[in-house]
Amino acid sequence: MGQLNWFLGIRVVRDISQQSTWLIQDAFIDKVAHKYNLMEGATTLPDFPMAETNLEPNTVVDKALKKRYQQLVGSLAYISVFTRPDISLTHSILSRYLNNPGEQHLRAAIHAWRFLVKTRNFALKASALTPDNTGYSIPGTAFNPEPIFFGAADASFADDLSTRRSSDGYLFKLFGMPIDWKATKQRSVTKSTTEAELYALSRAASEFIWWNNLFDQLNFKTDITPVIYCDNKQTVGIVTKATERLQTKLKHVDIHQLWLRQAVERGEVNVQWISTAQMPADGLTKALPKQKHVNFTRQLGLEDITKRLLSLHNN
């Protein structure tokens, strides 16, 4: 059958000597940029995907603008779901205004695509284990080596100015590559940072259990207990310590809290604290300044493979 080079529009690049594989959608980015003439008038390209976060629904909708906006955001979904978790938050925010966009929203969508054009050669990388088979090495990240499989959950409390609902996100990595991620707005208004983090952790724990069940069915085993990381100490204490409890009369909060405690007690979930600076899901909940966004992409395992692609082309 030969070597796999393309799959569903995703380019697959392999280096047997480094025991590494990269997934990249550079061709799709070029196709969309050309189709919608997104580079017209561009003098510089942005360093991060989201220029404006405090967007509001537009009251008067132009049909032509709405159609163009929906096309750009729809195409953005294909990228954010498969190979670019760094734009998941951007897509989550922009998709909230599909029915009522204005010029501000269209500018934000074009900004996101121009960022993708600038970073078109960023690829997700799956790398080999370290010599002791305990994890893999990504210099400059929170772990060196990182665990073979782990998850992270984070929340940004009441950051939606119109509804005061919180944003949350989760990320799961296997062999250095993100395999599951999501950035979304919570369905209910929460009353504290701890409550928002509890919701995010509950959502991530459900995914975590699903992945572990899949690994069991595939007979995939690791020597290290998988972990979900959270950067809120009170939330971690609530679900891991018998003496701590979030005092509330809200039934839905109690359900998330007690379910998580039960999952921890049964050994289905292992929750540990990590600092915000080391949190790999941080960029799934809030727009980050340039340097923090660079660190975020590094934590995701995204790598610029421009030189590698040029080498392949020349060969």
Q: Is residue 132 part of a domain?
A: no
Is 208 in the same domain as 89? no
Question: Looking at the 3D structure of the chain, how many domains does it have?
Answer: 2
Is 69 in the same domain as 18? yes
Quote the domain boundaries for residue 155.
Answer: 143-284
Is 106 in the same domain as 169? no
Q: Is residue 88 part of a domain?
A: yes
pLDDT digit of tens for each residue in the chain (315 aa)?
578 888 888 999 998 888 889 999 999 999 999 999 998 878 889 998 987 777 888 888 899 999 999 999 999 999 999 999 999 999 999 999 999 999 999 999 999 999 999 999 999 998 875 544 445 554 445 555 678 899 999 999 988 878 899 999 999 999 888 999 999 999 889 888 988 999 999 999 999 999 999 999 999 887 667 899 999 998 898 888 765 555 555 456 667 777 788 888 888 889 999 999 899 999 999 998 888 999 999 999 899 999 998 887 776
Q: Is residue 265 part of a domain?
A: yes
Is 112 in the same domain as 232? no
Q: Is residue 312 part of a domain?
A: no
Q: Is residue 221 part of a domain?
A: yes
What pLDDT score was predicted for residue 139? 45
Is 54 in the same domain as 187? no
Is 168 in the same domain as 116? no
Q: Is residue 184 part of a domain?
A: yes
SS3 sequence of the chain? CCCCCEECCEEEEEEHHHCEEEEECHHHHHHHHHHCCCCCCCCCCCCCCCCCCCCCCCCCCCHHHHHHHHHHHHHHHHHHHHCCHHHHHHHHHHHHHCCCCCHHHHHHHHHHHHHHHHCCCEEEEECCCCCCCCEECCCCCCCCCEECEEEEEEEECCCCCCCCCCEEEEEEEECCEEEEEEEEECCCCCCCHHHHHHHHHHHHHHHHHHHHHHHHHCCCCCCCCCEEEECCHHHHHHHHCCCCCCCCCCHHHHHHHHHHHHHHHCCCCCEEECCHHHCCCHHHCCCCCHHHHHHHHHHHCEEECHHHHHHHHHC
Is 87 in the same domain as 200? no
Q: Is residue 74 part of a domain?
A: yes
CATH of the domain at 234: 3.30.420.10
Q: Is residue 245 part of a domain?
A: yes
Is 167 in the same domain as 244? yes
Is 88 in the same domain as 151? no
Is 170 in the same domain as 84? no
Is 278 in the same domain as 155? yes
What pLDDT score was predicted for residue 133? 47
Is 201 in the same domain as 244? yes
What pLDDT score was predicted for residue 36? 95
